[in-house]
Chains A and B, each alone.
Chain A
Amino acid sequence: MAFSHLLELENVHTELSLAEGTLRAVDGVSLTIDAGETLGIVGESGSGKSMTALSIMRLLPRSGRIVEGSIRFKDRVLSDLSEDEMEAIRGTEMAMIFQDPMTSLNPVYRTGWQVGEPLRIHRHVGSGEAIATATDLFRQVGIPDARSRVRHFPHMLSGGMRQRAMIAMGLSMSPSLLIADEPTTALDVTIQAQILDLLRRLNREYGTATILITHNLGVVAGMCDRVIVMYAGRIVEQGRTEDVFSHPEHPYTWSLLRSIPRLDAEPHEPLTPIEGSPPDMVHLPAGCKFQPRCPFAVARCSREEPSLLQVRDQLARCWVTQAGTELNG
């Protein structure tokens, strides 16, 4: 069954060299995703979720480098590919959409031109055909008045429409994997729901496997088959969405779930924020990286780092739950 997954990351380590020092943005991440599946990756900013995505696409910033591990996509090991071969995969078999639709489109080219560009790059179609396809794609992603919208420049479109255009661009070559990095974070709440509906619909209709990166647990609950929770570049919990949400086995996940405002909460019931601040990635604590903020920490947590092991229905990186203790409170 070694080649059955669409995408398989094994023990991937990605480093960033910054002025303050070298940091492990992604530290030993292993994950798989199958065709048609939706996988959520959640975590705070700086937890390594975007760097994981950029490592998959091999689009790391200049300071970034994959130092260890393998990424297998279909039957190819991506790290073995040349830049030319990687370019042939990007935009065709795997596509990515980004957080901020305001800055992710080139301001000096018409949106239709940009959405149709993958076809011109990969299939060498003429500009007329590319625009015609872009118009079709605009309709599919629900941009009204597609024929005139393709002629508009990005600044003439609203944020929601631009994100739809980005999705249209991502889907233009019918990729088998779509990575959406915080696709709704920069949008109004009502628009967020529409964009998520669209992603869900496209995932169902085209069977495109989707990796949804977000810090919003509500988004994951509504969209994803499985979820991965990241902290300090590591996966701390991984499992089916309903398992992770109904009985989290890592204190970080547990704290995240308790910090969400709920509509069904009692009036004036206080929210429970996570104590402390996100870790300093250059100077990480010894032992479990979440231990300084963890309400359940025991002596062992500050000495040894736990591994990601099976705890009930999911995987969790926690000495406490691995020892059989249930998280509650």
Chain B
Amino acid sequence: MTTYVLRRLVLMVPVAFLVTVGVFMLIHLTPGDPALIILGEDRSPQAIAQIHQELGLDKPLYVQYVIWIDNVVHGDWGRSITTHEPVAGAITERLPATIELGVVALIWSLLVAIPLGTIAAVRRGSVVDKLATGIAVAGVSVPNFFIGIVLIFVLSVSARLFPFGGYVPFFQDPWESLRHVALPAIALGTAGTAINMRFTRSSMIEVLGLDYIRTARAKGASWRRVVFIHALKNALIPVVTIVGLQIGGIIEGAVVTETVFTWPGVGRLAVESIFNRDYTVVQGVVLLAAFSYMVANLVVDLVYGWLDPRISYA
């Protein structure tokens, strides 16, 4: 198991290399010279050349890359072009809000999707099944910013059940924190909920038709035991794959959701930085997103092994 994790980490190196090259190149290929933004009105060629020299932009691209990657590895993610704050610091400051949003969104989506998908599978063709299918189609089709706006309007502005906007750190006041994160998390998690529900349903239907389910019935196991103990663990194996892929989607969706809910997370930082052409910050955020995705996939593979003993880590 330990060797497996180590091997996976080693295998991540080439992926990480490609990711960093991609991030580095993307920014350099984007039109717009950061020197012009820093200088504003005073655009003498000398001043531009000086800025280029200060930022290392006059060096060949591969040298710039090596310098940049060396700094990144040592925790120096550069400074924001607009605020002159260290990028690493700006991201670390915003990260807890995004992590809380993402985790709550994921938990919410699984908490709804797995039971609903299971019930839909067990009682297929029933009212619950049809309702769940309808919700799923709607959940996938409606964009999350729209769900966000509707949630704000109905539950926050009209019903006043939830506060609108604002973030309270979880460890400062857990209850208030959850009240604040609820709406954005629901908005962010809904598309995933719908997909996870459909996957749980179809996977559950397939598993319930297998021979070992009949064996369990022949032992005198009740339906409840058959569904929750014998079938569910098997049915969740494909769902885990989908959840792994959704983690990327959550990072992506956080950009929109955080903007709609004025959530002070990394997603909004990314949006602000893109508008400001603050390319060092954009670089940092994209890099973080890519690495989160890689780590999430490793975690998913480890969960696989727990669910399915046929997968060996040897």
Contact = CB atoms under 8 A, between A and B. Distances in A.
A78 interface: no
Nearest to B230: A106
A107 B308 CA distance: 8
Nearest to A103: B211
A134 to B, nearest CB: 13
B307 to A, nearest CB: 7
Nearest to B212: A106
Interface string A76-93: 000000011001111110
Contact of B219 (A100, A109, A155, A169): A169
Given A107-B234, A108-B307, A155-B310, A88 B220 contact: yes
A8 interface: no
Contacts of B212: 103-107
Contacts of B223: 83
Contacts, number: 72
Contacts of A232: none
B309 A90 contact: no
Interface string B182-220: 000000000000000000000000000011101111111
- By DSSP majority rule, is chain A's interface helix, strand, loop, or mixed? mixed
Nearest to B310: A155
A76 to B, nearest CB: 15
Interface stretch (A15-23, A117-125, A200-208, A316-324): A117-125
Interface string B81-103: 00000000000000000000000
A243 to B, nearest CB: 32
A143 interface: no
Contacts of B215: 98, 104-106, 166, 169
B43 interface: no
Interface string B12-55: 00000000000000000000000000000000000000000000
Most buried by B among A96, A104, A166: A104
Contacts of A57: 218
A104 B218 CA distance: 11
Contacts of A104: 211-212, 214-215
A92 B211 CA distance: 20
A121 B309 contact: no
A88 B221 CA distance: 9
B211 A100 contact: yes
A121 B214 CA distance: 16
A193 interface: no
A109 B219 CA distance: 15
A121 B219 contact: yes
Nearest to B209: A61
Contacts of B210: 103
A88 B220 CA distance: 6
Contacts of B310: 107, 153, 155
A87 B223 CA distance: 9
Contacts of B216: 106, 117
A108 B218 CA distance: 18
Interface in A40-92: 57, 59, 83-84, 87-92
B225 interface: yes
A186 to B, nearest CB: 11
A107 B233 CA distance: 10
B309 A108 contact: yes
Contacts of A84: 222
B309 to A, nearest CB: 4
A96 B222 CA distance: 16
Nearest to B215: A104
A90 B217 contact: yes
B218 to A, nearest CB: 4
Contact of A122 (B211, B214, B220): B220
Interface of A: 57, 59, 83-84, 87-92, 95-96, 98, 100, 103-109, 117-118, 121-122, 153, 155, 166, 169
Given A90-B220, A107-B310, A155-B310, 9 more contacts: A59-B218, A88-B220, A95-B218, A95-B219, A98-B211, A103-B211, A109-B233, A117-B216, A121-B221
11 contacts: A87-B222, A91-B221, A96-B218, A98-B214, A98-B218, A108-B234, A108-B307, A108-B309, A109-B230, A121-B225, A153-B309
Interface of B: 210-212, 214-223, 225, 230, 233-234, 307-310
Closest 7 CB pairs of A and B: A91-B220, A91-B219, A90-B220, A103-B211, A106-B212, A153-B309, A96-B218
